[in-house]
Amino acid sequence: MAKSAVKFKDCLAQYESLTADIAARRFAPIYLLAGDEGYFIDALCRQLSSTILDEAQRSFNQITVYGLDSDAGAIVNMCRQMPMMGSYEVIIVREAQHLQRIENLSHYTTKPQPTTILIVCYKNKESGRGIDRRGSFYKSCVKNGVVFESVRPRDYEIDSWLTARIGRSGMSMQPKAVAMLKEQLGCDLARIDGELQKLAVSLPENTKVVTDEHIERYVGISKEFNTYELCNAVMRQDVERSMRIADHFGRNPKAYPIIVTISVLFGQFRQMFLLGYLMWQTRRRGVPFPSDAELMRTLGVGNIFAIRDMKENIARWNNRRLFNVLGLLREYDAKSKGLDSGGLDQDELLRELLLKIFSSRQ
């Protein structure tokens, strides 16, 4: 299967459209929910399974099978049954990536019954492969039902999703709070959503803005010692604070692995280098400087506050120095993986790296 051309924003738009259709009881006869991001697949499956039939009808007319424990022929036979005392027969195939000869489902999907709703959940990440788009099963799902491709977000795409997700609860989240969640949970939407659900029941009544203090208290992430604060201190050339955070990281290497820290620093300095280059083009070549919205797209930044911070910090770093720092980060990335590390452990490597960044050539 060729790499998907679907972008995260397109996936999100389709997800929101599908959730609205399901809530309005506009059902398709077939749902093929596939892709690398399990969060959307599970969420759509849950909504469908709890919406199509009421609780009493589910006992008779809703069947859930698993790919490892079933076969395509049996599923086709289930789909051809008539519902008992209800409008629909609902067949849910979970972990369909493990189903042998999944193409045989096309014997049903080429001509589905109006009284059956088939939901197929296929998680590419767990199988290492996607559904063959050239096959009759996929093509018949496209023709006769809904195909949803679930795409994993990139790091800079989390902000907009998270903002929208918490906005549905009638709240907003400070940029630092967003950064703390991203650092701790990465791009794992299911874990982030779980933490947001815990926050929703833990926050004081009438809370409108989620702050870093809320994240520290209810999620258990330090607002003082995290890579967001380290990046902020380094960019502001605050040596004392940077080394204090590095010392904390050194005492907690499992919670703050140096490979992750270097990766975050590299991303931040790369954005600064691109910003410096755009400013150089404006000064030297008269190229119009991009708007903040254009900068967010170009630099892969999820919020306007990060752009403002970079504009404030760029005066401290000329392009030559930024280029040198990127070279240092590549060098120490290799050292953190055991190449020419000189026997230094993680905390010693990080301190050495930071000192070289601060003393790099102007």
- In this structure, are residues 176 and 228 in contact, taking their beta carbons and an 8 Å threshold? yes
Report the candidate in 99, 106, 129 with the shortest Cα–Cα distance to residue 3. 129
Nearest-10 Cα torsion for 347, 353, 358, 362: 180
Average pLDDT value for residue range 106-132 = 86
Q: Give the model's pLDDT for residue 85.
A: 77
Six-digit token pair at 247?
Answer: 């010392």
Average pLDDT value for residue range 261-277 = 92
Nearest-10 Cα torsion for 43, 169, 201, 19: -20
- What domains are there in the chain, each with its CATH number? 8-150 (3.40.50.300), 155-219 (1.10.8.60), 227-358 (1.20.272.10)
Q: What is the pLDDT of residues 31-62, one digit of tens each?
A: 999 999 999 999 999 999 999 999 889 988 99
Residue with tokens 């650092």: 183
pLDDT above 70 (res 282): yes
Average pLDDT value for residue range 203-217 = 86
Q: Which of 111-115, 165-169, 228-232 has the highest mean pLDDT?
A: 111-115
Tell me phi and psi for residue 35, to 5 degrees.
Answer: 140, -175
Give the separation between CA 92 and CA 63, rounded to whole angstroms.
6
Where are the alpha helices (H) located in 84-238, listed in sequence order? 106-109, 124-127, 136-144, 158-167, 175-185, 189-202, 212-214, 227-235
pLDDT above 90 (res 107): yes
Q: Give the model's pLDDT for residue 129.
A: 67
Report the candidate in 258, 254, 233, 238 with the shortest Cα–Cα distance to residue 353. 258
Give the separation between CA 230 and CA 39, rounded to whole angstroms.
30
Determine how many CB atoms are found less than 10 A away from the CB of residue 20.
10
Report the candidate in 63, 64, 140 with the shortest Cα–Cα distance to residue 102. 140
pTM over 0.85: no
pLDDT above 60 (res 227): yes
* Residue type at 10 in one-letter notation: D
Q: Which of 41-45, 332-336, 356-360 has the highest mean pLDDT?
A: 41-45
Average pLDDT value for residue range 271-289 = 91
What percent of the chain shows pLDDT beyond 70?
97
pLDDT above 90 (res 175): no
pLDDT above 60 (res 128): no
Q: Give the model's pLDDT for residue 156.
A: 76
Q: Which residue has the higher pLDDT, 151 or 179?
A: 151
Give the separation between CA 58 and CA 89, rounded to whole angstroms.
9
Q: How large is the angle between the packed helices 258-285 and 227-235, nearest 10 degrees?
A: 40
Q: Give the model's pLDDT for residue 332.
A: 92
Average pLDDT value for residue range 202-230 = 83
